[in-house]
Each structure stands twice: as structure tokens, then as C-alpha cells.
A and B are shown apart, each in its own frame.
Chain A
Amino acid sequence: MTERQKHIRNFSIIAHIDHGKSTLADRILELTRTVGAHEMEEQILDNMDLEKERGITIKARAVRLFYPAKNGEEYTFNLIDTPGHVDFNYEVSRSLKACDGALLVVDATQGVEAQTLANAYLAIDSDLEIIPVINKIDLPSADIERVRGEIEDVIGIPAEDCPAVSAKTGQNIVDIMEKVITDIPAPEGDEDKPLRALIFDSYYDSYLGVVVCVRVMDGSLRAGQRIRLMSNGAEFDVVEVGAMDAFGLRATECLLPGDVGYLTASIKNVSETRVGDTVTTAADGASEALPGFREARPMVFAGIYPADGARYGDLRDALEKLQLNDAALSFEPETSVALGFGFRCGFLGLLHMEIIEERLEREFNLDLITTAPSVIYKIHKRGGELAWIENPSNYPAQDEIEVAEEPVVRASLITPTEYIGGLMELCQERRGEYHDMKYLDAGRAELHYTLPLNEIIYDFFDALKSRSKGYASLDYELDGYRPSKLVKLDFLLNGDPVDALSFIVHEEKAYGRARRIAEKLKENIPRQLFEIPIQAAIGSKIIARETVKAMRKDVLAKCYGGDITRKKKLLEKQKEGKKKMRRLGSVEVTPEAFMAVLKLNDE
């Protein structure tokens, strides 16, 4: 190992939500004096508004810092930020692969919590050195000794000399820095071997093209080099390499083993630079890629429509912009009789979908209507034809189907033992197939199930959290397709089918679902001049029925000379309100009502 490598430490901060990850990152930035206190924006690492608000980090970023240690030497710290949700588990794992250690932040008043555990195990899986950090010791209710005990008992890592700090006041932060130097190993890697650099993030910049965040494992990376991406063989000429500091990109001459930095190579599309892929040289490159690459494939699909049909073009532009930075987002145009022109979009999971929706609404000022999420079904038609169906509208008629298959996932749930019963019940309800259960230690177990993907895309994660008081964690990966008794459920308002409400569901669940949605529609459709029948149907068979009664009274009792102008204004105001309504066939529905129905929880 070179002297240079000995003075590098690559690590990330992991924590339960609200335990102080971002504040700690700020203090570290201050202490390393890469950023002046007065210049610093709050919480630099989380640089999207949305992230600040939700307290989750959506895309990983890295920052290079210089730390003058007590031993008189200067160290380079690369602080790598990680996203924190199951939809992004793969990205988290890649970000962690770029590190050699992690700070595990635990709130001194809250102790070890669900996400602390889940994150700790992800880090342990990645062979990282973990430094527990007890934070918020400035709070009166802080109980450092109890939390120290919890870290040792629950997570099972030594904590007798772990730093106890206040990220808010800055107290003892230096202890962490020194601990990083002594406890986290310096990065390995051989400069003379062929280049292997791990892509852990990439984003689109309108001047530079795609900026690819990498950790160099072996070899060297410099401007002018011709590189090859090992998963897809794409080749590019490197324009610039460098490091990211708190102010942006800083070009350097080269990146060597252990370095965390970026490269640009006039790459037009982030989908070419996939997270987890290995960068090598085009000539005399490495023969073997770094392990663990997985293509980010959309697993959940939904139709997204502008509430105002005239903004279809704006929606397309917005999706194109978001896609520049989000290779996992896919979309293509589709039309709905009920909703007009929109897009069928593909997402990693439900949270990914919600984040995209929110960004579209917030950053691009769009009002959206989103249909129920769906997965991709594999339909063997009579006559041998195979169809992949991601939009319920295209689902073939029942008598054309030989066999229908649905995607399943292998799910692993880690939970404190007291919630095992509840979670097994949940998996049972969601048509899960039980494999086994392992006790990880006295208090925790890991459950393995095969679950249909369409059972977990609605609200499984929420149900899991509510049945385990937030402690259980979920990880899953796609595990192929299984034959299944699927049916397409349609809804008719006033006798007209509303395509945007259709979805595919397992036969056994169809009745319950149909009834609940019909009820929900009834609650959410405002009374109109006529009675509106709501029907749920499989093919031509009606399986649930509700009625929105006709409005009984909407009349102005008095209308004499002095009331006429007022009455005109009242009618005009009501007509304005009416314009905001969406027409589904002959029925008027508020956009909110439509959403309420689609966001149906399975409670």
C-alpha cells in the first residue's frame, strides 16, 4: 500500500431517520474546513428540497475533505452519502461498496431503532468497519450508557469506547475524526493492475454530460483515456477526472486506487452508466468486473396523467428531465378513455414512484392523476402467443388466456422476535410462500418468503412497519414468474367502464378488493343530479355494486329583485368549481376523489 493510500479514509454515515445524520455531516464538513461556516448551506449533502423535507436521501453523493489529524499528518476523507429505503437498497449497497467503513449514528435519547438495525446489517454485509456514534448527548434525556449497552446487545458490535457527541453543538466531533483514522482501514488496491473503478452514482449535468461518481479499486483513471463499461461494453474517451468537494467538482490529473471522484466523458444518458458497473480501460482492461452488478429495472408501473390535459407536453418535458438523472425511471405515452393522454411509467418500487410524482408536482408545478400501480404480467395466450402486460387496459379477455404468470420476489424480513407472528400473518394474507426462519440472535429473526410482487407494491411496506412498530426491515429481489389465477377487475360508473380504474388481481382477492373500491368510490364521488350506479366487474360478471344517490337539494329558496345579481355570481362560482371536475363518462369526479380511490389502502 502506498503512502498516499495510507492517508485516505472512505466512509459513509448511516442512521435511523432523525438521528442526526445530516447534522453530523455538516459538522464534519465544518471541522475539516473545506467549507467556511458562513458559506455553508444547511445540510449540504441532502441537496434536494424533497430530501430535506422527507428526511431521506434519494441519490448518493460524495464529498472529499481534508483533515489535519492529531498525529500531525493530513488525511483525505471521502464522505459518501447513501439513500435509505428498500426501493433503493441496491443503490445503498453499491454506495457502501465504495466505502471501507461507516459511522453508525444512534440517538442517545432513542437508542437503537429499526432503521439503525437494517442499515447496520447492510454495512456488515458489505464487510465495512463500523464505528458506532452516540449523538444528541446535549439533550437532557440522553442516556449514553443505556444506548452503549443497546448497541452491544442488539447490534452486537463493541461500543465501550465509541464516540459520544453532539452534532448540534459540535461537542466531541474530533473524537469521531480520530476514530475514523484509527479504526477504518485505508483502501487497498494496486495501481499497476488494470483499471477497475466502481460506479456508485451518476447524474446529468447540462454542460458536462453525465458525471459518473466512481471509487477506483485498481489501476489509474485519467483524462484522455479510452474507457469501457464492463456490463454493456460501451466505450468513451475520458474528458475530465476529479474529486467532488462541498462546492462542486474539482478536476485533478488522475484518480488512483482508493480515490473517490468523478469522471466525465461526453456521455449523453445516465442509463449508460449504471450504478454497480465497473469502469476499465478499453485496451488491456480488466478481465473480471467487480462483483454485485445488477441492472436497475423498473418493477412497478403506473399511468401518470396531467390533471389538466393541456399540460401533456409539460409532463413529457418534465419526465425527460427527470430521466436524465434517473436511469431507473422509464416512460412511454399511453392514452386512457377516462384520463386522456399520459404516460405509462416504470419505477423501482412504490417509494420511487411517489418521489417521482412529488418531484413532478413540486419542481414542475404539475397536477397529476396516477393510476393504480401494476407489475408486468406474463400471459400465455391460447395459440401459443406470449404477451407481457404492464397496463391492465391491455390485459386479454379471460377466454384468450392459457396461463397467466405473475412476478414473484424472494423477500427477507428481519424483525425482533416479538413481531414474528404478526409478520407471518401479513405474508400469509399477501399470498406469501414461507421458506424458513433463522434466529440471528436471541432477539431477532430473519424470515424468508416468496411473495407475489403485486402484493407488495401497494402498501406492504407500510403494513410491515405498522405491524412491527417500525422495527422490521424488508429486502427483496425478483425471483422470476409463477403461474397464478389472475383476473382483470373493471369498474363501471353509470354503466361506462373507466379504464383508468382497472387492475389485475388474484382471483381470491378480487371480491374483497372490488367491494372496498366500490365503497371508496361511493364515498368520494360527489352526489350529482342523477343517481350513479358503481359496478365492479370481471368480464361481464358484476361482482360488487354501490350507488351514489342523486343530489336531493341544490336550490336557492328565495330569488327576488335583490337576489338576482347574487344568484348569478353564485352560479358562476359553482360553474368555476365544475370546471375543475374530471369527467369519467357521464360522471363528474374531483381529481382528489380519483386519487383517494387509487391510493386505497388494504387495511
Chain B
Amino acid sequence: MADKSLGLYIHIPFCLQKCLYCDFCSYPAVAEEMRSAYVAALCREIREAAPILTDYLVDTMFFGGGTPSLLSAEEYLHISKAVFENYRVVPSLEFTSEANPATLDDEKLTAMREAGINRLSIGMQSANAGELSALGRVHRNEDVFTSVEMARRAGFDNINLDLMFGIPEQTKETFATSLEAALSMSPEHLSVYSLQIEEGTPFYERRTFLSLPSEEEESEMAELLYRTAERSGYRRYEISNFARDGMECRHNLRYWRMQDYRGFGVSAHSLIGDHRFFNGGGLSTYIHDPLGIAEEEELLSPAMREYEALMLALRTADGVEDAAFTAEFGHGFAEKYGKRIAPFLSRGLMVLQNGRYALTKAGMSVSNGILREILDEM
């Protein structure tokens, strides 16, 4: 049997301070001892999960957070060693770490390279000082430029910049400036998210007082983004992701293609075959026993797998390929969903190209609405 491919996700739930919009699992300003204890637990989970994953060849890895770049040089090395010693890894591995621009220096970047990391995802968010402070970010705009410069020097030839729009007080002009600033650094990849006010965040608490851009302004920003990115040679390959040819994030594509991934660390999610699960519990529970806390396990039924596959594939520019869909689910996409998608095809929200059904630009902006119409009841 041919080797199956696997992505590994490693969650680093620490940050300098929690951003006001963040609803990810992250603990601000944690003591160093706690962090080393966590890294030890992480390495243990990585090691002990290995025996049942021997069929797999790891071809992507991703340090996410939180702020993974808070890890010391030694900790980076320690964790990646745990992976390389216990898993089979392809030579063409894509290995990403997220990074906060305020936490990078030459030494750490060099250590990251030594640890095998070859892709850096930098949380720039905005080039506007007022907006950065409104978001509760700890970094300054200059830090981004310095970070990218240092990263290039350290040998990173695959850099992503994260940007946001729909920030309180943001205007089309300030967004345009941020976008230009990002492009001036010639990143290989851009992720641009529209701000979502999530429950349980400080932004949610004061949502009625935030002066957010109007829907109209926000859609103008989106238009500007799509135009500018395309003109600058970036292809929008997912709702919020843009890349130069061949520089798409392979790790993230696994999520949208429902390819296997194993998440390590507190709150990390995994999909192995039809088995979806995640590490629940808090930080101390995890440190105490990194193996015993899988929560909300779910065995995907064929119907559920189909539901998720569509929900995720329609986020991407590649969309759903009818032939592959038939091969996997035993019935054609058009055969089953033809009637439901007809109005979207005729109104330009969806398009059929080379046997693939995908949402158009207009369709992507309202993808929830389209999915509500298309997907089966669950």
C-alpha cells in the first residue's frame, strides 16, 4: 500500500498579550517554566502518537498559536527534533511557523531555519499605528519591515503576511496603504481576513461601541484587495488567501481538501481518516497528561464527510471536481446538487470550468448563504 501523506499542526498557546479580537486558545504572559513544561508535554504527545501513524509520510508542518515565535531557539529545535526522530518526513516538507513581528531577531530566525522551518507567516494585520493599537497588537509597523528583512537574510524564501480589513476606524485609504506596504515587501503569500467579532472576545463585549466600517466600505476594501492582489501577481486560491504561483500554503490546503492532519498541543484538532477529534481541556490539564484529553471525537459518516467536503472545497478557487467527487462519494456532484446550484450558476455566483464547480468572487462573499442552500440537512 502506498504511503499516505500527513500534515502536522503544533499549537503554541502563548502570547505576549491577547489581541482584542482573538478567540483562539492562548494564554498571555505565561512564566517560562510553564512554557518549558508545555513543550515537554508537547514532545511527549508527538512521540507517543507516532506508532499509530507509521503508514504516513509527513509532508507539511505548521506551528500555530498563540504566538509560536515566543518559543526560544532551543524549544524550536527540541520540538522539531521530536518530529524528525519519530516520523517519516518528505524532503520537500513545507514547514511553517507563525510569528509576531515583535518577537523576531536574527538569532531566533537562524534557530528556526536550523529546526527545519522554511516558511514564515508574519502577523502584520495593518500598517497603521492607530489600527494596530485598536486591535491590541503589541508590534509596531516598523517591526514588520525589519522582521521581513531579517527573515530574508536568514534564508526564508517563503513568507506570508497576514492582513486584516474591517478594523474599527479603518478607511478604504488606510487599508490601501496597508496593502501597499505589505506588497512592497514582496511576500510570496498573503492572507487577508475580514475582522469577525467573535463571542467571548473584548471586541464582542463592546461591539456596539466599535465604529466598524460599513458593509459598503468593507466591500469596497474587498474589491480593492482583489484587484490589487491580482494585478500584483497573486492568485486568490481561497476565500482569504492569495499566493504567487506555486506558493499556496500546502498545509492549509489539507484542511480544505480534507486530507489527513494530526494536531498536537492544547485545543489542537485532528482528522485521521474519518476520525475527527481535538485536545480539549486547559493548559495545566494538558501538561499533566497530554495523551488523555481527546474530546468531541466524531466518526464522520459518509454523508457528513460529503457535507464537510463541500463546505470546505467551495472555499477554494479549485472548488469541487465532479470526477473526483464521484470517485469519492459514489454519485456525481452535478447529478445530486444540480437543481440546487442552478440559480447560482445562472446568476454568476458559481461557475463550471474544466469539470470543476467553484464559487466566483461574488459567490465567495456570500458563501454561507450558498452553502445553506446547497448542503443537505444534518
Our count of residue pairs bridging A and B at CB distance below 8 angstroms stands at: 103
Q: Does the CB pair A565–B240 fall under 8 Å?
A: no
Q: How far is the CA of A570 from the CA of B367 in the complex (A)?
A: 13
Residues of B within 8 A of A565 (CB): 269, 276, 278, 296, 298
- Complexed CA–CA distance, A552 and B369 (Å): 11
Chain B contact patch, size range: 35 or more
What chain B residues lie within 8 Å of A554 (beta carbons)?
365-369
Q: A553-B194, A553-B219, A571-B311 are in contact. Are A559 and B368 (CB under 8 A)?
A: no
Interface string of B271-297 (1 = CB under 8 A from A): 100001010000000000000000010
Q: Mark B2-29, 1 if CB is under 8 A from A, else 0.
A: 0000000100000000000000100000
The verdict on A529 contacting B308 (CB below 8 Å), with A552-B365, A553-B218, A554-B365 known, is no
Are A568 and B368 in contact, with the CB atoms below 8 A? Answer: no
A557-B194, A562-B268, A562-B278 known; A529+B366 contact, CB < 8 A: yes
CB–CB B347/A530 < 8 A: yes
Q: When the two chains form the complex, which single residue of A528, A564, A574 contacts B255, counting CB atoms closer than 8 Å?
A: A564
User: Contact at B255–A561, with CB atoms within 8 Å?
Assistant: yes
**How many residues in A have their beta carbons less than 8 Å from beta carbons of B?**
27
CB neighbors of B among A362-396 (8 A) = none
Q: Given the known A-B contacts A558-B193, A560-B252, are A578 and B307 also in contact in the complex, defined by CB atoms under 8 Å?
A: no
B311 near A568 with CB under 8 A, answer yes
> How far in angstroms is the closest Cβ of chain A from B77?
25
Question: In whole Å, how far is A357's beta carbon from the nearest beta carbon of chain B?
Answer: 32
A556: CB under 8 A from chain B? yes
Any A CB within 8 A of the CB of B370: yes
Q: Assess whether B261 is interfacial by the CB under 8 Å rule.
A: yes
Q: Are A556 and B252 in contact (CB under 8 A)?
A: no
Q: Are B365 and A568 in contact (CB under 8 A)?
A: no
Chain B residues closer than 8 Å to A559, beta-carbon distance: 239, 255-256, 312, 315
Cβ contact within 8 Å between B372 and A571: yes
A250 at interface, CB cutoff 8 A: no
B349 within 8 A of A: yes
Chain B residues, Cβ within 8 Å of A550: 366
CB <8 Å contact, B366 and A571 = no
Q: Do residues A557 and B269 form an inter-chain contact, with CB atoms below 8 A?
A: no
Given contacts A568-B307, A568-B378, contact A578 B372 (CB under 8 A): yes
Beyond A561-B271, A571-B372, A571-B375, whether A555 also contacts B193 by CB under 8 A is: no
Q: How far is the CA of A561 from the CA of B376 in the complex (A)?
A: 21
**Is the CB of B319 closer than 8 A to any CB of chain A?**
no
CB <8 Å contact, A574 and B368: yes
Shortest distance between the CB of B371 and any CB in chain A (Å): 6
Q: How far is the CA of A571 from the CA of B216 in the complex (A)?
A: 24
Determine how close the nearest CB of chain B comes to the CB of A526; give it in whole angstroms: 11
Contact of B365 (CB < 8 Å), options: A553, A567, A574, A586: A553
- CB of B312 to closest CB in A, whole Å: 7
A208 touches B (CB below 8 Å) = no
Q: A571 contacts B365, CB within 8 Å?
A: no
11 A-B pairs besides A564-B255, A571-B372 with CB distance below 8 A are: A551-B369, A552-B219, A554-B369, A556-B196, A559-B255, A561-B269, A562-B269, A564-B308, A565-B269, A565-B296, A575-B375
- Which B residues are closer than 8 A to A by beta carbons? 9, 24, 64, 193-196, 215-216, 218-219, 222, 239-240, 252, 255-256, 261, 263, 267-271, 276, 278, 296, 298, 307-308, 311-312, 315, 343-344, 347, 349, 364-373, 375, 377-378
10 A-B residue pairs with Cβ-Cβ distance under 8 Å, sorted by A, are: A552-B219, A552-B365, A553-B365, A559-B312, A561-B261, A562-B268, A568-B308, A571-B375, A574-B368, A575-B377
